[in-house]
């Protein structure tokens, strides 16, 4: 990957930095750590490289910090310090019980990110989010605009608070029971399906899926019409990449990442705590960058 080993120093409470890859000729200067925070018996995997200013890279499902491997190298080469954490429930980040989806709410995960920013020793960071990482990023801007310099989000737009609607039911009414969010909602069910398919096949289907239509996951044929069609890898994904994802998720399982979907309806209780932000909107300047929206200010806040 062209990622050098660690440079002695501290990261995330200074606990036991260790290398994630060997140095290679031509690698950009920087730091890479796999960091663990043992406070309250929790461990967090956090991969970083480069120098200040910091860009916080938040991945989605089913992904890992590894999804940002190319961006980490690029940002470090351009004098940024790229930080790509695995949020609670993913890879080597532990502490939240995966058998309790209520410990994976937006407030929990945003709190984790605020703690990480503090541990990195800075007041504010640039944030880039994708998929669930985008949802976390929107909420980080909403709850703690003092921590965000600017935001780039991919694939998930900002969704205002809807305290009187159940999120899963919204998807069920719009897209029916076979929509993936509805299928992911029942504990243990989708894990059994993934186990029957095999982890590597699951990743190949997910990470090569390009259909812009709603994503369905029928019980009789997971991945729908594409279930039996052989996967042709795009140029930016190799068998070695899939081997990495497969190895890590075979060790930890999918439940931690799926819990983010399973606490959707717990948000009905949680939303009652968020009245202050009910009128919030992103009122800053928006600069189009390809298919992205780049917001240069944090959200305004309602008065309630």
pLDDT (tens digit per residue) in 95-128: 788 889 988 888 888 888 998 888 888 899 999 9
Asked whether residue 281 carries a pLDDT value surpassing 80, the answer given is no
Structure tokens at 288: 């189009």
Contact status, residue 32 vs residue 3, Cβ threshold 8 Å: yes
Directed axis angle between helix 132-143 and helix 106-119, to 10°? Answer: 70
Higher pLDDT, 281 or 22: 281
275 — phi, psi (to 5°)?
-55, -30
Residue 105 is predicted with a pLDDT of: 86
pLDDT band of residue 59 (cuts 50, 70, 90) is: very high
Contact status, residue 75 vs residue 31, Cβ threshold 8 Å: no
Asked whether residue 267 carries a pLDDT value surpassing 90, the answer given is no
Contact status, residue 106 vs residue 140, Cβ threshold 8 Å: no
Asked whether residue 145 carries a pLDDT value surpassing 60, the answer given is yes
Instruction: Provide the whole-model pTM.
Output: 0.78
Instruction: Give the C-alpha distances (Å, rounded to integers) separating 264 from 166, 168, 186, 189.
Output: 8, 7, 12, 17
Residue 270 is predicted with a pLDDT of: 60
β-bridge partners, 292: 289
pLDDT tens-digit readout, 166-182: 888 888 999 999 999 99
């Amino acid at each position: 990957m062209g990622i050098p080993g660690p440079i002695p120093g501290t990261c995330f409470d200074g606990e036991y930095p260790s290398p994630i890859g060997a140095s290679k000729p031509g690698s950009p200067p920087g730091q890479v750590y796999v960091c663990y925070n043992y406070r309250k018996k929790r461990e967090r995997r956090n991969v970083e490289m480069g120098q200040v200013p910091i860009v916080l890279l938040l991945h989605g499902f089913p992904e890992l910090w590894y999804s940002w491997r190319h961006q980490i190298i690029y940002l470090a080469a351009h004098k940024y310090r790229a930080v790509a954490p695995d949020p609670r429930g993913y890879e080597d980040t532990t502490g939240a019980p995966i058998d309790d989806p209520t410990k994976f709410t937006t407030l929990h995960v945003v709190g984790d990110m605020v703690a990480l920013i503090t541990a990195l020793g800075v007041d504010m960071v640039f944030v880039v989010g994708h998929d669930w990482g985008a949802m976390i990023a929107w909420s980080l801007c909403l709850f703690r605009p003092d921590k965000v310099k600017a935001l780039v989000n991919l694939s998930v737009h900002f969704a205002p608070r809807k305290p009187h609607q159940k999120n899963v039911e919204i998807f069920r009414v719009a897209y029916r029971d076979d929509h993936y969010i509805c299928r992911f909602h029942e504990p243990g069910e989708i894990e059994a399906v993934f186990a029957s398919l095999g982890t590597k096949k699951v990743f190949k289907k997910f990470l090569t899926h390009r259909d812009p239509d709603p994503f369905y996951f029928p019980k009789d044929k997971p991945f729908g019409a594409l279930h039996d069609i052989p996967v042709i890898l795009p140029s930016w994904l190799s068998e070695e990449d899939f081997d990495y994802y497969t190895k890590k998720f075979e060790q930890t399982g999918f439940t931690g990442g799926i819990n983010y979907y399973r606490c959707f309806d717990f948000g009905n209780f949680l939303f009652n705590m968020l009245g202050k932000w009910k009128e919030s909107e992103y009122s800053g300047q928006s600069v189009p960058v390809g298919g992205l929206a780049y917001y240069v200010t944090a959200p305004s806040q309602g008065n309630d």
